[in-house]
Every structure is written in structure tokens, then in C-alpha cells.
Amino acid sequence: MTSQTTFYRAFEDRYRGSRDTIKARLRAYAPFTDPLRGLAARPAALDLGCGRGEWLELLGEQGFDAHGVDLDDGMLAACIERGLAARREDALAALRAQPDDSLALVSAFHLVEHLPFDLVRDLVTEALRALQPGGILIMETPNPENLTVGATSFYLDPSHLHPIPPGLLGFTADHAGYARARIVRLQEDPALHGDAPVGLITVLEGVSPDFAVVAQKAAPPVLAATFDAAFDAPRGLTLGQLAQRFEERAAGQNAEIHHILARIEQRAAQDTGQLFAEQQRQRMQADDRQAHLAQQIEELHRIAQDQQARIAQAEAHAAEMGQRVVDLLSSTSWRITEPLRRVTAIVYRLRAAQREGRLGSAAKSRARRLVRRAGGAVLRRPGLKRAARAVLRKVPALEARLYRLMLDNSGATRLVLDDEPGELSPRAARVYRQLKQEQARMHNADRH
């Protein structure tokens, strides 16, 4: 075993997967291989590039007479360890050595991507010759529709030449003359056949990572019909299917987003409308309050004007009354009627004193005041003063009494002011008192 073959087997062990995993994947071809067991007791099968022998082992378990060929000694050693019929031989040479119509099954798992395309076409043609009527050709290879496979993982194997698109390999079988060929996509995540969400990473990595072209040589209708179910069943996922599901999901999300945005806009419009209505209501209330306030201000202004008018009217009335008082006090009738007013005032006081029980003292007091006033009046007039002295000298007792009475008046004759006549306003009363004071001053001046 050389270092190169040892490297390739180690590489396969790491990246291809365990034997059990590979055998589980290969059972996907049972719908195509099970009808082949009706062609013979032990249908003959040739596996080109048999590798570690998982497919040979599975065919032997199903009753096939299976043989394999490979050029890698490390791979062949794994087959020999398990007692599988495998030999070192070129795949195309081994196929060409098969008699016509001698094989029920020809298989090539992950072989064609290692070959120039012309050799792939020769392999397809030679397999058609070696297959018996109704025989099956299976060619499995990495699927470049899976973008991660086509761009990255395909080139992990340094012996790979170039990826082969499913359409090209399928057309190769059709062109070679097979009765029918089916592209079978394999090894995708089973969850993607359900309702699993499809994101962008799913579009990039979720397409079936492998595919196979399963082609059948023409056969009698009765025999061919036993394979119809296998050829008609849909298998695997294409890039277009996942891309469409992604777009539908994105469209659904966009529709949901638009629906949410529409609801938000509707709610915003409602809130805006309510806010506008509330602002309008508040503005109307403010306008009403402002109008009411303006009305109150106008009413207060009117009341103030009315009060000012009343005050002006009262002042004018007071001035008129004051002038009337001045005119009255300055009139001849006021001076002529002064004794009458004094007598009337005396009568009122006497009546009040009588009601209160103080008439005697009041009369005496009033009499003394009258005597003093009369004496004062006589003293202010020189002619009367001389006449009064002449008369009183004849009645000494009366003279002495009057003299004592005048002396009781603090040694001086004073002017007694009458009470204010009637009910006067404060301003008129003040004017009246000022006039009486002026009158008293004038009398005092005349006396001296």
C-alpha cells in the first residue's frame, strides 16, 4: 500500500462518513433495485469504483451477485477485509469486458467526477450494451445545484476534475439510448420536506448535496411497469424549489410586516385623530374661557364706568349742594330767619329735656346762655351799651346780677354758634362751620 492510497482512504474515512452512514444512504435506491431481483435468481451487478465496498455489501445482502473494481489499493483492502468480491481494475476496461445483455445493474458512485467527460460518455454507452433488457444504470455524483457543494466541498477532494450538472448527466443517458432516465436528488435534510423554515442559509446549503442519474434499458412493458413507481416518485430538493420557498416565506414575512405597519399606521392615525380632536376640544374650551373672561372684563369695565359716572354725579351734586349752602348763608332771608331758627332749636331742646326729665336745669342753662348772648350783643353795639347802662343803674340789684353772670362767662364775652341748621352733607357742614368761624372773627375784630 503506497502513501498516496493510504492518504485517499484516510480522506474518505474522514469526509465520506462511516460505513453504516453510507449504507443507510444507499438504501434510497431500493425502489430501483428491488424489481431487478425478479430478472434472475442472483442478478449480476458490477460496481465501478467500489471504494470501501458499502454498496457491494448491501447488494450481497439483497441477493445480488455483485462484483466491484477500483484502482485504489487502500479501498480494495477494506473490501477484501470483509470478503467482498473486489479486484484492482480500470472501471471502463472492466465494463468493456462484460458480455452484451449480461448485467442487471451497473453502478458508479462518485466516479464520474473523477473522469474526463468523454470517458463518462463511453461509460454510459458501454453500460447500455452490457445491461440486459430492463437493467439499471446508477451514476451518483456531488450536486453542484447545492451552492456550498459546487463552490466549496466539491474541491476538498484533489482528484475531482469538475462538477457535472444534473441536466448534463441526465441528457448523456438520454442521448446514449436509454429508455428512460431519472434524476434522483439525495441526502437533503428530511425536515425540509415538512414545514421547516427556509432561510438564506438553507437556500445555500439545503439543496440535495448529491444526485444520481438512474437510467433503464428498454424492456418489455410488463417488466418496465414494475419500475414505474420508482421512476415517477418525486425525490430530493432543487435550488429552484428552496429559492421559491424562501421567496414565499420572505413574501409572507413582508406581508406580515406590511400588515403590522398598516396596523401601526392605523393606530397612529387614530391616535393622531384623537390627539387632534383633544387639541380642538381644548382649544375650544380655551376660546370659551377667553371669551368668558373678555365678557367679564367688559362687564367690570362697564361697572367701573358706571361707578365713575355715579361718583362724578355725586361730586357734582355735592358741589351744587355746597353752592346752595353758600348762597343760603349769604342770603338776606337766612340772616332774617336766624332768630326764628334759634327759637325753634330751643323749643326742640326743651321738648327733649322735658322727655328726659331735665327741663329745669336745661331752662336755667338756656336762660343763662341767652342772657350772655344778649349781653354780648349789647356790648358789641356802643349805643345799646350806653342805653343799657343807663337803665341798669336805676336797678342796682339787676345790674349786679347781670354783671356776675357776665363774669361767670370766663371774664370775656364769647360768640355762641348755633347748631348746624337741618341735615347737611359733610362738605356743606364744613363750609357752614368755616363761615361761622369767619363771622366770629369779624365780630371780634369789630369789638376791638
Q: CA–CA separation, 347 vs 351, rounded Å?
A: 6
Supply the mean pLDDT for the chain: 82
**What is the reported pLDDT for 4?**
43
Average pLDDT, integer, range 155-169: 92
Higher-scoring residue by pLDDT: 305, 448: 305
pLDDT score of 62: 93
Query: Which residue type, as a one-letter code, is found at position 205?
Result: E
Per mean pLDDT, which of 129-143, 247-261, 402-416, 422-436 is the most reliable?
129-143
pLDDT for 30: 95
User: Has residue 185 got a pLDDT over 70?
Assistant: yes
| Dihedral angle sign, alpha carbons of residues 170, 176, 177, 178 | negative
The closest alpha carbon to 135, from 30, 53, 225, 224, belongs to 224
- Residue 427 confidence class, pLDDT cut points 50, 70, 90: low
Sign of CA dihedral 96, 99, 101, 102: negative
CA–CA separation, 50 and 4 (whole Å): 18
| pLDDT at residue 197 is higher than 60 | yes
pLDDT tens profile 122-147:
999 999 999 999 999 999 999 999 88
Predicted confidence at residue 15, as pLDDT, reads 55
CA of 264: how far to CAs of 258, 259, 269, 274, 277, in Å?
9, 8, 8, 15, 19
Tell which wins on pLDDT, 94 or 327: 94
pLDDT of 412 reads: 40
The bridge status of strand 103-109 relative to strand 131-142 is parallel
Pick the most confident of 36-45, 354-363, 365-374, 391-400: 36-45
Q: Which whole number is the average pLDDT over 265-271? A: 81
Cα Dmax for the chain: 206
pLDDT higher than 80, residue 82: yes
What is the band of 411 on the pLDDT scale with cuts at 50, 70, 90?
very low
DSSP letter assigned to residue 28: G
Could you tell me which residue, 228 or 300, shows the higher pLDDT?
228
Is the pLDDT at 104 greater than 90, yes or no? Answer: yes
Span 303-320, pLDDT tens digits: 878 888 888 887 787 777
Query: Is the distance from CB of 202 to CB of 142 less than 8 angstroms?
Result: no
pLDDT at residue 417 above 50? no
pLDDT band at 278 (very low <50, low <70, confident <90, very high): confident
> Are 44 and 127 contacting, i.e. CB atoms less than 8 angstroms apart?
no
| Most confident range, picked from 134-138, 399-403, 416-420 | 134-138
Tell me phi and psi for residue 9, to 5 degrees: -65, -40
| Range ranked top by mean pLDDT from 78-87, 192-201, 259-268 | 78-87
For residue 86, what pLDDT is reported? 96
Say which residue, 339 or 142, is predicted with more confidence: 142
Question: Percent of the chain scored above 70 by pLDDT?
Answer: 79
**Winning range, highest mean pLDDT, from 85-99, 325-339, 429-443:** 85-99
Residues 6+ apart with CB under 8 A from 144: 150, 154, 163, 164, 165
The string of pLDDT tens digits covering residues 146-155 is 888 888 888 8
Gap between the Cα atoms of 242 and 248, Å rounded:
10
- The C-alpha angle 191, 194, 199, rounded to 5 degrees, equals 70
Report the alpha-carbon distance of residue 60 to residue 37 in Å, rounded: 12
Three-class DSSP category at 131: strand
What mean pLDDT is predicted for residues 352-376?
68
Looking at 143-268, which runs of residues are DSSP E strands?
A: 180-186, 210-216
Whether 414 shows a pLDDT value over 50: the answer reads no
Per the CB < 8 A criterion, the answer to whether 392 and 403 are in contact is no
Nearest-5° angle of CA 173, CA 174, CA 178?
80
For the segment 199-221, the average pLDDT, to the nearest whole number, is 89
DSSP 34-68: GGGGGS-SS-EEEEET-TTSHHHHHHHHTT-EEEE
Q: How many CA atoms lie within 13 A of 290 on its CB side?
A: 6
Phi first, then psi, for residue 144 (nearest 5°) are -70, -10
Tell me the C-alpha distance between 246 and 261, whole Å: 22
Looking at the predicted structure, is the pLDDT value of residue 2 above 50?
Answer: no
Q: In which residue are the cell numbers 405597519 written?
A: 261
What pLDDT does 299 receive?
84
Q: What is the pLDDT at residue 127? A: 98
Mean pLDDT, to the nearest integer, of 428-445? 72
Supply the pLDDT for residue 350.
Answer: 66
